Amino acid sequence: MIYRYDFGTPLETGAIVSDVPVCSGDIRHFTAETDSSGPVSLTIRPGRDDILFGLGETLRSMNKRGYLYRSWNMDDFSHTENKHGIYASHNLLLFTGECGLFGVYIDDPGDVRWDLGYTDIDLVRITSVNGNFSCYIIEEDSLTGICRTFRKLTGRSYIPPPWAFGYIQSRWGYASSEDAERVLNEHRTRHIPLDAVSMDIDYMDRYMDFTWDKDKIPDLKKLCADMRSRHARLIPIIDAGVKQLDGYSVYDEGAEKGFFCKKADGTDFVAGVWPGYSCFPDFFRPAVRTWFGRKYHAMMDAGIEGFWNDMNEPALFYTPEKLQEMRNKARELLKKDAPLTEYETLKHIGSDLPNNDEDYRRFYHVLNGKTVRHDTVHNIYGAHMTMAAAEGAKSFDPDKRFLLFSRSSFAGAHRCGGVWQGDNSSWWSHILLNLRMMPSLNMAGFLYCGADLGGFSCDTTEDLMTRWLQLGVFTPLMRNHSALGAREQEVYRFSTWQDMRSVIRVRYALIPYLYSEFMKCALTDSMMYRPLAFDYPEDPLACRVEDQVMLGEDCMIAPVYEQNARGRCVYLPEAMLMIRFRSPEDADLIPLGKGHHYIDLALNEFPLFIRRGHIIPLVKAAESTDDIDTSSLFLYGWIEKDTSFTIYDDDGFTTAPDLEKGLRHIQVSIRDGKAAAGSDGLSLSTDHLILM
Amino acid sequence: MIYRYDFGTPLETGAIVSDVPVCSGDIRHFTAETDSSGPVSLTIRPGRDDILFGLGETLRSMNKRGYLYRSWNMDDFSHTENKHGIYASHNLLLFTGECGLFGVYIDDPGDVRWDLGYTDIDLVRITSVNGNFSCYIIEEDSLTGICRTFRKLTGRSYIPPPWAFGYIQSRWGYASSEDAERVLNEHRTRHIPLDAVSMDIDYMDRYMDFTWDKDKIPDLKKLCADMRSRHARLIPIIDAGVKQLDGYSVYDEGAEKGFFCKKADGTDFVAGVWPGYSCFPDFFRPAVRTWFGRKYHAMMDAGIEGFWNDMNEPALFYTPEKLQEMRNKARELLKKDAPLTEYETLKHIGSDLPNNDEDYRRFYHVLNGKTVRHDTVHNIYGAHMTMAAAEGAKSFDPDKRFLLFSRSSFAGAHRCGGVWQGDNSSWWSHILLNLRMMPSLNMAGFLYCGADLGGFSCDTTEDLMTRWLQLGVFTPLMRNHSALGAREQEVYRFSTWQDMRSVIRVRYALIPYLYSEFMKCALTDSMMYRPLAFDYPEDPLACRVEDQVMLGEDCMIAPVYEQNARGRCVYLPEAMLMIRFRSPEDADLIPLGKGHHYIDLALNEFPLFIRRGHIIPLVKAAESTDDIDTSSLFLYGWIEKDTSFTIYDDDGFTTAPDLEKGLRHIQVSIRDGKAAAGSDGLSLSTDHLILM
């Protein structure tokens, strides 16, 4: 059940697809307080042990209790615990416990503060700074039900092509055809599976969107074709800012048509990003989205089938206005002889240049025909860039799925593309962060997601890379990506690359299953990754688990995330079969009862837990998704009686997949202590079923 | 057994107190490689599962395997995983596994790199950048034995007064008599135990060492006396840099006597720190130490009995030379119109100003009569400031113990004072960091240590403060300290302050026991905190435990370090009795067998594990160490037969404590299923002994 309450004059965010009537009377669960200066707060006093889930792409634990979060999309690559928010805003928060079972969604495109027991451990206060928003209270009989209803409110999740589940190698620094081909060669030569190479900003001509440096990539079409012939693809980056350069057609057109965001004086807003001074498409206007979306066609024409959209918070390095302030401050300072002040001031002189609130108040959009200042709609900018890209893909080929993932996002964008979890670091704690964000992003509708495996900034280590890949096996987006200047971390650079290859090969053995689970979730508005509390709400131990996650209908994952660990404690909320993988061909099958277990896991081992009575199919590992043979399935599970399972498949391209048509039901029966399974046209191995 | 090998021309670090003859022939265990440009490397290939302990105050795990560390004392407050070192250098590394059981101590006062499987997962490379050092290889039959031998090599650990085990409230920002008295009042009114208030730099007159602002502290002697009458003390900070100001007697004297570090041209080296331009006492010269040490007397005269020495890496904010370079660079830049360059340059313009290598090559010391450039002896500067302070305390009153703790340190300083673990953050991960550093610091001889509870920088939360205090109960230095600008975190500021008070009261019930264990360790060259591997080397599970630590002879600790956790997994390498404390008066006693256990721990609960067959005594909690009554002991333990334990006590002031004289042996016998214990003049309660 959904209850809608409007405060102030709500703005259209693009999140909502269902008409929900506005309720009159007091808001359920909360006390609403309106500040005469504008802000509106919703407060509630949950029980001391009540749990709060949600907020999508945020730092810290899955249970969000006890900290102060801020919905304010921000390009800040240093994800230390104290940060209040990062690149995305996902305003869905779930409550469970003494205070009830419900979700609250704040449909506000601007600044929202979530004081979840920070100021007062027993008080939750959600504040819309602008006070103009719709609030949806969702009541269902389960956490999963609340998230499903939220998806009905906001629309079906984006569906990528199956090759998006392949392994992707990326690096800030890959710039040329040679780079792409070398990376592909290094993988193919060693039989390390690979489906795509992704390229950061360096491939572009002077960082101009939709261009490529002809010296480095003389023939993009040929590069794409060559890679496709080797069963791989190229994924270029596109940034939000358009370089302000006369003669650059995208800029010229945008300027001429008035498609860029404007300042109060009507001139184009300009800020420095990678290309230098740039303009920012006003993605909220349908005509601008159509225009920008069609710009992707040039690269699609050349054979590109996937893009990552970046810098769309939007990140602003500096504006001419702030830069001038800084120059003036510096000049003033340099006149004096005041060493300490000078040191303190100069040391920090650039620190408020990027992404500052003042600059975000300096420009305007047109939203539904009305002029709105950027800061009131800041959080939906990146989402609308994703919508533009998705519209461009649709206009290019309405019958084909493209891979799209974005750094910044907001509800609504989940219908159009996936996300990666932003610019993380090569820190062990970020494996755990990766894991914890998966279910939170799923709650918000973002099913296709994953983090930069191995870590983006800082130098990775061989074991960190290995352990992180072992988690990446289970995330839809499985991309190894790192920053210019950080240690190079392609798996073939490490002495234990064969162990890493084994990890990636397990991924390929699981891809049909992962794709099947993904599609089931997408087509039934379900979550692929869930905190244990969603599946075992009556189990207080399960409800507090922060380092294990349910995967699909059948599985649980529990990665190792500490250096030098040779294992870890795992809590099983029910009996499960552990597959301890060393490779697809070399794995231990260990039935385990409900309760806490210490699991021994050498660096080259990682576990997958299958709920008792469930069966999952694996395939023979291949070197690309093109080469996966889905006609031979190896069944894994721990069953004691006849059972069945389903697996979904489709042509991988249809944009109108049909769940019922794609589902295959497979029956497994036990006769004389042996399992047997059969299905037309399928070869089914039951050798890995534990019967007892 | 100790083997000494000299490379190049070793410099005197002050670490070594025993004469060890130099061995001829090849170094044991390692391969030595000398680079013609100077550096000397020692390499070894340990087994893949061998464990490396040590390096004292460093980040990351207790097992140091797999990362690159650098001995280079650095004032860097952001302790993220990627950092290679922080404020101290403790060059002891222990190896255990296939490669053998031994320790290596690099007695090098300069830059040392520890590549412990970072570049190549199977290779350990220790590099002395200058190549002038003595290397000591220590072989004993246990990890504990190696550390004991290292202590024999470097001398007995510093012994603080017992009041140093009391609770200390600190804050960067306390500046006045009123501040100290208010903090004391707030604690005493609420019956929150407190032994000292510590003050950061703000109490000083213009940040000048050994001064206090007479407006804020009109009468220091009276303040000390007033606080002492209320059973509390004041602990002021002293910084390494002496303000360069004519008329300031410390500066005038130091300059006149030539006691400050000099540049190549013979003039005093000057750098900006808190007081602005400052000079740096050349602590390596005995006359300078004597001079500086005696400066503490003015404050001791007023009644001060403890100091913390800070900024002694030494931290350098800027030198006039670097500042001028920055000014020139800025001026040059401001002439051009190059926004991106300007942004990039100005944004980072101050970043290489503090603590840069170039400045550390700009000044000189006199060490044993020889002039040495700072960078070759950088890491022993702070240690020698501690030595100066200890010499000052001794010359003030040779029969009295003073509390001294320092930010920067090196072996040798452990004879003269303790350390705090530097400027951490209010991050949950830093509870674990605090725990992991305790045994590493103990290995290096630093027994008196602890971290800023609640976290120094960033904003703490109520539950983080609580959980961190629960660990702090067991660290010798138990200080709540936070930074200017961060959330105020005195326990009385939180709604659950009574729960926090209960935690601190448990500390006071344990102080006689903790002091006793500390003294036993100090007087027998043992470690008070040990990784489980030290006590259970044959137990491979115990050897990998990174979030539990052995405490003294009898106990193990295992703090909760995750937000919203209601418990945690604990591994017991043998049967133990868990005391689950809510307060000294309200605790559960739960006998647990060897193995993994999930322990339920609400926010107001924390555990202490006592090895089966061991007994520990608690006392009635008091509000200050002065008020602790050690004549009534409450015995806790899980025993099945007659047993005994010892407790050490002394007058708390003698600087020549005698272990045998201070030890009291107490016999506990079981008769008819009841325990009985008696000792002259002691009241002993056996109500908390579990017999079975």
Model pLDDT for residues B55-106, shown as the tens digit of each residue: 999 999 999 999 999 999 999 999 999 999 999 999 999 999 999 999 999 9
Query: What local confidence, expressed as pLDDT, does residue B328 receive?
Result: 84
Which of B80, B494, B564 lies closest to A544 in CB terms?
B564
Please report whether residue B259 resides in a domain: no
DSSP codes joined into one string, B545-598: --S-EEETTTEEE----STT-SEEEEEESS-EEEEEESSSSSEEEEEE-SEEEE
Q: Indicate whether A452 pLDDT > 90.
A: yes
CA distance B222 to chain A (A): 34
Query: What local confidence, expressed as pLDDT, does residue B315 receive?
Result: 98
Based on the structure, what is the number of domains in chain A? 3
Please report whether residue B401 resides in a domain: yes
**CA-wise closest residue to B110 among B388, B407, B374:** B374
Query: What local confidence, expressed as pLDDT, does residue B342 receive?
Result: 63
Query: Residue A453 sits in a domain of what CATH number?
Result: 3.20.20.80
Domain boundary among B94, B126, B154: B154
Please report whether residue A248 resides in a domain: no
Q: Are residues A124 and A180 in the same domain?
A: no
Q: Do B330 and A346 touch (CB under 8 A)?
A: yes
CA distance A82 to chain B (A): 6
HEC assignment per residue over A277-320: EEECECCCCHHHHHHHHHHCHHHHHCCCCEEEEECCCCCCCECH
Q: Are residues A139 and A195 in the same domain?
A: no
Q: Which residues are A418's β-sheet partners?
A: A405
**How far is residue A309's CA from residue A385's CA, in Å, rounded to a whole number?**
8
Q: Are residues A313 and A420 in the same domain?
A: yes
Phi/psi region, residue B57 (left: phi>0; alpha: psi -120 to 50; beta: rest), is beta
Cα-Cα-Cα-Cα dihedral of A288, A292, A297, A299, to 10°?
180
Look up the pTM and report it. Answer: 0.97
Instruction: Give A649-688 pLDDT, tens digit per residue.
Output: 999 989 999 999 999 999 999 999 999 998 888 999 999 9
**CA angle centred on A526, ends A524 and A531, rounded to 5°:** 165
Spell out which residues of chain A touch residue B564, defining contact as CB-CB under 8 Å: 51, 61, 63, 65-66, 544, 546
- Could you count the other beta carbons within 10 Å of the beta carbon of residue A208? 21
Query: What local confidence, expressed as pLDDT, does residue A18 receive?
Result: 96
**CA-wise closest residue to A424 among B314, B82, B285:** B82
Query: What local confidence, expressed as pLDDT, does residue B333 receive?
Result: 76
In our burial notation (b when 16+ CB lie closer than 10 A, e otherwise), range A310-331 reads: bbbbbbbbbbeebbebbbeebe
Q: Residue A348: pLDDT band by 50, 70, 90 thresholds?
A: confident
Residue in the structure block whose two tokens are 């105020």: B488
Overall residue count recorded for chain B in this entry: 692
**pLDDT block averages, 10 residues each, chain B of length 692:** 97 97 97 93 97 98 98 96 98 98 98 98 98 98 98 98 98 98 98 98 97 98 98 98 98 98 98 95 98 98 98 96 85 71 70 92 97 98 98 97 98 98 98 98 98 98 98 98 98 98 98 98 98 98 98 98 97 98 98 97 98 98 98 97 96 93 96 89 95 90
Q: Which are the contacts of B654, defined by CB distance < 8 A and separation ≥ 6?
A: B399, B401
Query: What local confidence, expressed as pLDDT, does residue B434 receive?
Result: 98
**How far is residue A427's CA from residue A49's CA, in Å, rounded to a whole number?**
30
Q: Do B340 and A276 touch (CB under 8 A)?
A: yes
Which of B459, B546, B596 lies closest to A569 in CB terms?
B596
Query: What local confidence, expressed as pLDDT, does residue B189 receive?
Result: 98
Two structure tokens written together for A274: 């990678």
The answer to whether the beta carbons of residues B538 and A36 sit under 8 Å apart is no
Domain boundary among B136, B154, B172: B154
**How far is residue A514's CA from residue A522's CA, in Å, rounded to a whole number?**
12
Q: Which are the contacts of B57, defined by CB distance < 8 A and separation ≥ 6?
A: B86, B87, B88, B90, B409, B419, B421, B422, B437, B440, B441, B444, B446
Query: What local confidence, expressed as pLDDT, does residue B427 receive?
Result: 98
Bigger pLDDT: B336 vs A421 = A421
Q: Do B121 and A462 touch (CB under 8 A)?
A: yes
Q: Which residues are B666's β-sheet partners?
A: B645
Sheet holding B643-648, edge to edge: B643-648, B663-671, B674-677
Which of B48, B122, B272 lies closest to A343 in CB terms?
B272
Q: Are residues A420 and A525 in the same domain?
A: no
Q: How far is CA B687 from the centre of its chain?
A: 36
Query: What local confidence, expressed as pLDDT, does residue B389 receive?
Result: 98
Q: Are residues B555 and B470 in the same domain?
A: no
Sheet holding B587-592, edge to edge: B529-530, B549-551, B555-557, B606-611, B576-581, B587-592
Residue B492 DSSP label: G
- Could you count the other beta carbons within 10 Å of the beta carbon of residue A285? 19
Q: Do strands A403-406 and A418-420 pair parallel, antiparallel, or not at all (unpaired)?
A: parallel
Per-chain mean pLDDT for chain A:
96
Query: What local confidence, expressed as pLDDT, does residue B338 receive?
Result: 61
Angle between helices A497-523 and A462-472 (to 10 degrees): 30
Q: Indicate whether A212 pLDDT > 90.
A: yes
Residue in the structure block whose two tokens are 């137990």: B539
Q: How far is CA B162 from the centre of its chain?
A: 17
Please report whether residue A345 resides in a domain: no
Range of the domain at B572: 517-691
Q: Assign A642 to helix, strand or coil.
A: coil
What number of C-beta contacts closer than 8 Å exist between A and B?
Answer: 189
Q: Which of B52, B328, B346, B498 to mutate to test the interface with A (most CBs of A within 10 A)?
A: B346
**How far is residue B523's CA from residue B342's CA, in Å, rounded to a whole number?**
60
Please report whether residue A351 resides in a domain: no
Report, in angstroms and rounded to the nearest whole number, the Rg of chain A calculated over CA atoms: 25
CA distance A421 to chain B (A): 19
The answer to whether the beta carbons of residues B92 and B444 sit under 8 Å apart is yes
Nearest CA in chain A to B569: A569
Q: Are residues B181 and B310 in the same domain?
A: yes
**How far is residue B298's CA from residue B395's CA, in Å, rounded to a whole number?**
12
Q: Are residues A97 and A199 in the same domain?
A: no
Q: Assign A113 to helix, strand or coil.
A: strand
Instruction: Give A76-108 pLDDT, tens digit per residue.
Output: 999 999 999 999 999 999 999 999 999 999 999
Which of B117, B461, B496 lies closest to A118 in CB terms?
B461
Nearest CA in chain B to A333: B327
Residue B621 DSSP label: -
Instruction: Give A311-336 pLDDT, tens digit per residue.
Output: 999 999 999 999 888 888 888 877 77
**How far is residue B129's CA from residue B357's CA, in Å, rounded to a whole number?**
13
Query: What local confidence, expressed as pLDDT, does residue A337 receive?
Result: 63
Spell out which residues of chain A touch residue B49, defining contact as CB-CB under 8 Å: 566
Q: Which are the contacts of B179, defined by CB distance < 8 A and separation ≥ 6?
A: B173, B197, B199
**How far is residue A638's CA from residue A592's CA, in Å, rounded to a whole number?**
10
The type of residue at A13 is T
Query: What local confidence, expressed as pLDDT, does residue A324 receive?
Result: 86
Q: Which helix (H) or strand (E) segment is A226 a member of?
A: helix A220-229
Q: Residue A376: pLDDT band by 50, 70, 90 thresholds?
A: very high
Average pLDDT over residues A461-488: 98
Query: What local confidence, expressed as pLDDT, does residue B592 receive?
Result: 98
The answer to whether the beta carbons of residues B112 and B126 sit under 8 Å apart is yes
Two structure tokens written together for A160: 């990528």
Q: Are residues A531 and A508 in the same domain?
A: no
Two structure tokens written together for A628: 């996966």
Please report whether residue A361 resides in a domain: no
**How far is residue A323's CA from residue B194's CA, in Å, rounded to a whole number?**
50
Q: Are residues B463 and B581 in the same domain?
A: no
Query: What local confidence, expressed as pLDDT, does residue B71 receive?
Result: 98
Cis amide bond preceding B559, omega within 30: no
Q: Which residues are A172's β-sheet partners?
A: A174
Q: Which of A319, A346, A601 to mutate to test the interface with B (most CBs of B within 10 A)?
A: A346
- Could you count the other beta carbons within 10 Å of the beta carbon of residue B676? 14
Q: For chain B, how many helices (H) and strands (E)?
A: 17, 38
Please report whether residue B347 resides in a domain: no
Please report whether residue A341 resides in a domain: no
Q: Are residues B48 and B182 in the same domain?
A: no
Handedness of CA B537, A465, A497, A499 (dihedral sign): positive
Q: Are residues A642 and A508 in the same domain?
A: no
Query: What local confidence, expressed as pLDDT, does residue A330 receive?
Result: 80
Handedness of CA A408, A411, A415, A421 (dihedral sign): positive
Query: What local confidence, expressed as pLDDT, does residue B36 receive?
Result: 86
Query: What local confidence, expressed as pLDDT, does residue B329 receive?
Result: 82
Q: For chain A, how many helices (H) and strands (E)?
A: 17, 38
Q: Do B428 and A65 touch (CB under 8 A)?
A: no
- Could you count the other beta carbons within 10 Å of the beta carbon of residue A558? 24
The answer to whether the beta carbons of residues B630 and B514 sit under 8 Å apart is no
Query: What local confidence, expressed as pLDDT, does residue B29 receive?
Result: 98
Average pLDDT over residues A586-600: 98
Q: Indicate whether A338 pLDDT > 70.
A: no
Which of A323, A461, A495 lies closest to B343 in CB terms?
A323
Q: Which of A487, A563, A570, A603 to mutate to test the interface with B (most CBs of B within 10 A)?
A: A563
Two structure tokens written together for B248: 């300031």
Ranges of H-type helices in A43-142 = none
Which of B323, B462, B463 lies closest to A343 in CB terms?
B323
**How far is residue B461's CA from residue B463's CA, in Å, rounded to a whole number?**
6
Q: Are residues A439 and A556 in the same domain?
A: no
Nearest CA in chain A to B65: A564
Domain boundary among A86, A119, A154: A154
A149 backbone dihedrals φ, ψ, rounded to 5°: -65, -35
Query: Residue A139 sits in a domain of what CATH number?
Result: 2.60.40.1760
